[in-house]
Amino acid sequence: MNGQLDLLLLASLGAGEAHGYGLIARIHERSGWRLDLQEGSVYPALHKLEASGSVESRWADDDGGRRRVYALTRAGQEELARKAEEWKGFSAAVRGVLGTAS
Amino acid sequence: MERLLGGCPRSPGDGVMNAEDRSIRPEGPIDAYLDELLASIRDGEPSAVRRLLAETEAHLHESARRLHAQGLEPEEAEREAVRRFGPVATVTPALRPPLTALGKMPLRAFVRPAVGLAAVGAIAVGLSGALSEWFGRIWGAGFVAGDLPGMAYTAARCAVLQAPYPGLDCSRAAAEHHWGEVVEYRVALGVLGLLVLLISRFLPREAPLPAGFVPALAAAAFLLAAAATGLQTVNAAVQGGQGMGAWLSAVVVSFPLAVVFAVVAIRHSAGRVRYAPAA
């Protein structure tokens, strides 16, 4: 499932700001532990989303340490809505094909 | 969330290695991973390097803490955390500029990758030369370097070609001669490529190019080479197969390389999400 990481991260950030580890945990939890990803790949994706303006980040204190936490920007919310619509459309199309095949 | 990351509620300090643990094992798998990461990104922009290292370190330690709380031994927990994080190459694209920034990159940023690509191309030619030698030994010089129908040599040229191969007719002598050239010239280019690759390691590292760009370029170049030499192979095959081996050896080398570079490019440019159906 290449190319869906951005959508998953944006959707996960839709629940509120979080650091990379927390976002992965949300993705696992919300997917019923059906989606797995190489955890390190989240950071290049988050940095790319930040460079594109969909996400912003800041340092935050966490148990005495510093963590980089990410949040959706307004542009990110719009991007999330657009990508979610695209995915729903694609998903509906595949379901349609599967329905006619069964 | 807890099921994935260890199954235990997080509390301040849970699973944190105490001072005694640290004195017993000061350098663990996470330290080794961070060292490897730092070595591979040391040429990046300092604040970006610092940020990526801090994020990686915090992530790995939190993951290890949770796994330790779940029951794994500290070192095992660190090793598992590193495994889940993925190889260093998974995270280094974070320091690469987006593809859209390619046009703004300074020309010097392309020198080292271009030299490296040229070296890899030359090495591939060298490999095809070695393969041509093997093809010739198995199927004869004509298979590698025989002339297509219609080729004719002057008597003077035939005499030159036949001189080292007494007893062979002109076309066979020409095939032997050209087989030798195919192998020698290509292998020589391959050796030159190895030298250039070695030298390219010492060229200054400039701003990194977008993740996956260089492998994608290599994949495209090798695919183009495979397509062009593939057409020549088919052309030689339909005309009797003489001289087919020289082209075929290039296809056999360039096509797998195109696939390998394409896979590398895809892995560098997109995070992968795996779907595991519930049991």
Nearest CB neighbour to B90, from listed A2, A21, A38 = A38
Cross-chain residue pair A34–B275, CB shorter than 8 Å = yes
Dist. CA B153–CA B103, nearest whole Å: 51
- Note which residues in 40-79 of chain A have CB less than 8 A from chain B: 40-48, 51-52, 62-63, 65-68
Which of A35-44, B5-14, B202-211, B224-233 is the most confident on average?
Answer: B224-233
DSSP B148: P
CATH code at position A11? 1.10.10.10
On chain A, the residues whose CB falls within 8 A of the CB of B58 are 19, 21, 62, 65-68
**Where residue B190 falls among pLDDT bands split at 50, 70, 90?**
very high
Select from B55, B80, B57, B51 the least CA-distant residue to B67.
Answer: B80
Report how many domains make up chain A.
1
Task: Tell me how crowded residue A6 is: count the other CB atoms within 10 A of its CB.
Answer: 20
What is the model's pLDDT at position B2?
A: 42
How confident is residue B85, by pLDDT bands cut at 50, 70 and 90?
Answer: very high
What does the alpha-carbon distance between residue B272 and residue B252 come to, in Å, rounded to a whole number?
30
Tell me, what amino acid is at B18?
Answer: N
Interface touch A68/B54, C-beta < 8 Å: yes
Contact call for B59 and A41, based on CB within 8 A:
no
* DSSP state at residue B45: -
The secondary structure element, H or E, covering residue A60 is: strand A55-62
Higher per-residue pLDDT: B262 or B11: B262
Report the pLDDT averaged over residues B121-141: 96
Residue of chain A whose Cα is closest to the Cα of B94: A44
Q: Coil, strand or helix: which one is A86?
A: helix
**Could you give the residue ranges of the DSSP H alpha helices within B42-167?**
46-70, 74-85, 88-91, 111-139, 141-145, 155-162
Environment class of B35 (CB within 10 Å of its CB; exposed 0-12, middle 13-18, buried 19+): exposed
Q: Is the pLDDT of residue A17 over 70?
A: yes
Round to whole Å and give the CA distance between B244 and B232: 8
Write out chain B residues lying below 8 Å of A48, CB-based: 98
- Chain B CB contacts of A20 under 8 Å are 55, 59
Q: Tell me what pLDDT residue B11 has.
A: 39
The whole-number pLDDT of residue B276 equals: 72
Instruction: Name residue B219's amino acid.
Output: A
**Could you tell me the end-to-end alpha-carbon distance of chain B, in angstroms, rounded to an integer?**
18
Nearby residues of B250 by Cβ (< 8 Å), 6 or more positions away:
B125, B128, B225, B226, B229
The pair of three-digit structure tokens given for residue A60, joined into one six-digit string = 């935050």
For range B37-48, the mean pLDDT: 84
Q: Taking the mean position of all CA atoms in its chain, how far away is CA B256?
A: 11
pLDDT, tens digit, for every residue of A37-73? 889 989 989 998 998 899 999 999 877 678 999 999 9
CA of A25 vs chain B CAs: smallest distance (Å): 5
Determine the Cα–Cα distance for residues A61 and B99; give it in Å rounded to an integer: 33
| Largest Cα span, chain A | 57
Going by C-alpha positions, the residue among B59, B60, B65 that lies closest to residue B8 is B65
Residue A19 CA, distance from chain mean position: 12
Write down the pTM of the prediction.
Answer: 0.63
- Domain range enclosing A31: 5-101
CA distance B142 to chain A (A): 47
Report ipTM (2 d.p.): 0.89
Q: Does B39 touch chain A (CB under 8 A)?
A: no
